[in-house]
Amino acid sequence: MSDGRVAAAHDRLIEAVEELRAATTGAGDAEQLSVLIACEAGRRRLDHLSVGTLATVERRDVFTSRGYKSSASALADLLGWERFEARRHVMAAENVVGKVALDGTVLPPRLPSTTEVFDAGRTSLRHVEVVAKVLGSRAAERLAPEVWAAAEVELAAHTGEYTPSELQAWGTELIEKLDQDGPEPDDRPEPEINELRLVRHRNRPGGKITGRFDDAAMFDTIATVIDAKSKPASSDETREPAQRQAEALAEVCGFALEHGPTSLVPETGGRRPQISVIVRLEDLEKRARSGMLDFGGQTSPETLRMLACDAAVIPIVMNGNGQPLDVGRATRTIPDGLRRAVTARDTGCAHPGCDRPPSWSEIHHILPWEELGDTKLENLVMLCRRHHRLIHHSGWLVRIRDGLPEFVPPAWIDPGRTPRRQPGPMIDIPERRRDMPTAGAAKRDPATGVRIANLDDLSGAPPS
């Protein structure tokens, strides 16, 4: 189908939607409900078309030939989908669309009964995902092929009767009943699991640390240190044990960052781990009312002043547009100060939609070094490994505009090539800056003319 036919069909689709919208004007209750039903029917038909097209695109290696390792990543950039939504379409394409063997033989879909109701528009994409997950469980894999096929028929028959959540609960129970023997007995000891997970809060400072240590020696080592540091300070101690243990862990880690040798605290991203505190210029001029940590988010003024007294903490001053001072050096290897400036500006992978932290990211020369690209702030951007690869292989372009990185997608993703960037910092309304205190000894950035407060102000000492 040519682009002209696609465009014409798209125009007719828009016209049909607008006609349906016009039908709701002055319509009664029954007609309004009919519109809702029609919208769902249309959504199912569009999902069916989308899944079938995706299967064709994957068969032709359209995404991999453009530098993407997974279809889910490509769909996220192409259509602005969340990853779970992209994976849902990919899963459906793998299960309800027939495949073509290398010799040209057309193979039936993995879920034939589910394919039938999906093709007819009698079930949703979410139901297809549930059926695929239920029949992809370990218990389902233990079923005999004929029993597995019969279970798929039953699940498909109930897609129009149950909601996705109800279908998942019912289907899971069905598989458990069919798997009467359960897993084969395993006399081997349970595998030893030692894991620690660090998850940052998305919408507020801080994060969550959870762990499990089956290794008794490892657990005892950690528990001994925390127990020693979390004992009540006095008989008047009011902190709960959990709070004391959390603060003890942070204290021990802080001591290791400051005093530990390189063999104990290895370098990350070309530098030894240290804590950076990002401070807005206006906050400095208001005597450090807040600061931003690499991982933990915003911190209080009291904590900020305490951290600023520690030589292991690096204060980084930002202007109102979220731009740090340029500490560029004309070397290919990114010097430590410049790496911190890029980290302060980008706060992790700068590619829109990516949340990889600085410790998982690399520094990329926008204009390559071999093409006389300078190693300075306006020619550097922080990217995770996946997006670093995309910049080199997929046609994405990155540039610095107004002091911040922005990304231009290839034409096959966006024909207009509209630049994209991460959500930027909140810019204060100019009127709010009129009451900002001034100091006679203040300096100004020669490049921007912006006033720079002394870092000594962080300590709480009176201005000179």
Domain boundaries, the chain: 3-178, 196-259
Output the pTM of the full model.
0.62
pLDDT digits (tens, 9 = 90+) for 262-293: 666 655 544 545 556 555 555 554 554 555 55
pLDDT digits (tens, 9 = 90+) for 188-217: 677 788 898 888 887 777 888 999 888 888
pLDDT band with cut points at 50, 70 and 90 for residue 445: very low
Q: What percent of the chain has pLDDT over 70?
A: 71
Residue that has been written with the tokens 């080592």 in this structure: 221
For residue 94, the model assigns a pLDDT of: 94
What angle is formed at CA 327 by the lines to CA 326 and CA 333, rounded to 5 degrees?
125
For residue 364, the model assigns a pLDDT of: 87
Can you tell me the mean pLDDT for 357-364? 83
Can you tell me the mean pLDDT for 111-139? 95
Q: Is the pLDDT of residue 28 over 70?
A: yes
pLDDT band with cut points at 50, 70 and 90 for residue 308: very low
Can you tell me the mean pLDDT for 320-348? 66
Q: Is the pLDDT of residue 1 over 50?
A: no
Can you tell me the mean pLDDT for 12-22? 93
Q: Is the pLDDT of residue 21 over 50?
A: yes
**pLDDT, mean over the chain:** 78
Higher-confidence position of 379 and 238: 379
Q: Is the pLDDT of residue 435 over 80?
A: no
pLDDT band with cut points at 50, 70 and 90 for residue 252: confident
For residue 431, the model assigns a pLDDT of: 45
Radius of gyration of the chain (CA): 29
CA–CA gap between residue 19 and residue 414 (Å, rounded)? 28
Can you tell me the mean pLDDT for 130-134? 96
Q: Is the pLDDT of residue 187 over 90?
A: no
Q: Is the pLDDT of residue 440 over 50?
A: no
For residue 244, the model assigns a pLDDT of: 84
Can you tell me the mean pLDDT for 56-81? 91
pLDDT digits (tens, 9 = 90+) for 73-121: 999 999 999 989 999 999 999 999 988 777 778 789 999 999 999 999 9
Can you tell me the mean pLDDT for 54-61? 93
For residue 185, the model assigns a pLDDT of: 64
For residue 325, the model assigns a pLDDT of: 44
For residue 291, the model assigns a pLDDT of: 56
